[in-house]
Amino acid sequence: MDRFSFVICVSPSETLNRQKFTGSIVFYHAHHATTDKPGQFGARHTWEEAVPEFKQNAYLGYVVTGLSLAIIGVVFYVSVFGVFSDSYLRVGMLLAGGLLIILSSLGRTSGLLDKALLCAVAIALSLSVYQYFRAAEEIETGLYFLTPTDIWMGFLGLFAVIELTRRSVGLVMAVVASILLAYGAFGHLAPGFLRHAGISSEELMTVLWYSFDGVFGRPMATVVSTILIFIVFGSLLELLAIDRVLVQLAMAATGRMRSGPAAAATVASGLFGTISGSAVANVVGTGVITIPLIKKRGFSPRFAAAVESAASSGGQITPPIMGAVAFIMADVTNVPYLTICAAAAVPALLYYGGLFVAISSAARNMDLAEEPRPKISFNWRELVQIGIFVLSLAGIVVTMVGGSSPAYAGFVGVALAAVLGFAVRPDLLTDGQAWLRFIRSAGLISAQLVVIVGAVGIVIGVLNLTGVGLRFASLLSGLAEDQMILSLILMAIACLLLGMGMPTVPAYLIIVLVMGPSLQKLGVPIVHTHMFVLYFGVLSAITPPVALAAFAAAPIAGSSPMPTALEASRLALPGFVIPFAFVYQPALLLGTGFHWAESVQAILFVLLATILISRACYPRRGKGYMVPVGLALAVALIFFGPTISWIATVAGIGLMYFDRLDLTIQDQTS
pLDDT in tens, 22-54: 333 233 333 333 333 333 323 334 434 445 555
Which range scores top for mean pLDDT: 121-125, 135-139, 299-303, 407-411? 121-125
Its sign, for the CA torsion 581, 584, 588, 589, is positive
Give the count of alpha carbons within 13 A of 46, CB side only: 10
Half-sphere exposure of 281 (CA within 13 A, CB side): 31
Give domain status of residue 616, yes or no: yes
- Reported as a pLDDT band with limits 50, 70 and 90, residue 74 is very high
In a domain, residue 614? The reply is yes
Domain span at residue 62 reads 58-220
Out of 39-43, 274-278, 498-502, 615-619, pick the least confident.
39-43
Report the predicted TM-score, pTM, of the whole model to 2 decimal places: 0.76
Q: Choose one of 194, 220, 246: the last residue of a domain.
A: 220
**368 lies in a domain?**
no
- Give the list of residues 6+ apart from residue 92 with CB closer than 8 angstroms, or none: 74, 129
The DSSP-derived string for 256-305 is TSTTTHHHHHHHHHHHHHTT-S-HHHHHHHHHHHHHHHHHHHT--HHHHH
Give pLDDT tens digits for 644-660.
999 999 999 988 887 77
491 in a domain, yes or no? no
Whether residue 315 is predicted with pLDDT greater than 90 in this model: the reply is no
- pLDDT > 90 in the chain, percent: 29
Q: How confident is the model at residue 17 (pLDDT cuts 50, 70, 90)?
A: very low
- Provide the number of structural domains found in the chain: 2
Asked which of 220, 255, 278 is the last residue of a domain, the reply is 220
Domain end marker among 199, 220, 241: 220
Q: Does residue 619 belong to any structural domain of this protein?
A: yes
User: Residue 50 domain-assigned?
Assistant: no
Answer yes or no: is pLDDT of 16 > 70.
no
With a cut of 80, say whether residue 667 has pLDDT above it.
no
Quote the pLDDT of residue 4.
Answer: 34
Query: Mean pLDDT score of the chain, rounded to an integer?
Result: 81
Section 581-595 average pLDDT: 92
Contacts of 367 (CB under 8 A, 6+ apart): 298
Q: Compute the distance between CA of residue 251 and CA of residue 243 in angstroms, rounded to an integer.
A: 13
pLDDT-derived band at 75, boundaries 50, 70, 90: very high
In a domain, 659, yes or no: yes
Considering the domain boundaries, does residue 334 fall inside one?
no
Q: Is the pLDDT of residue 77 over 70?
A: yes
* Average pLDDT score over residue span 192-215: 87
Task: Tell me the residue type at 282.
Answer: N
pLDDT for position 325 = 82
Peptide bond into 506 cis (omega under 30): no
Tell me which of 53-62, 100-109, 162-171, 240-249 is least confident: 53-62
Give residue 266's pLDDT band: very low, low, confident or very high (50, 70, 90): confident
Q: Identify the H or E element spanning 634.
A: helix 626-639
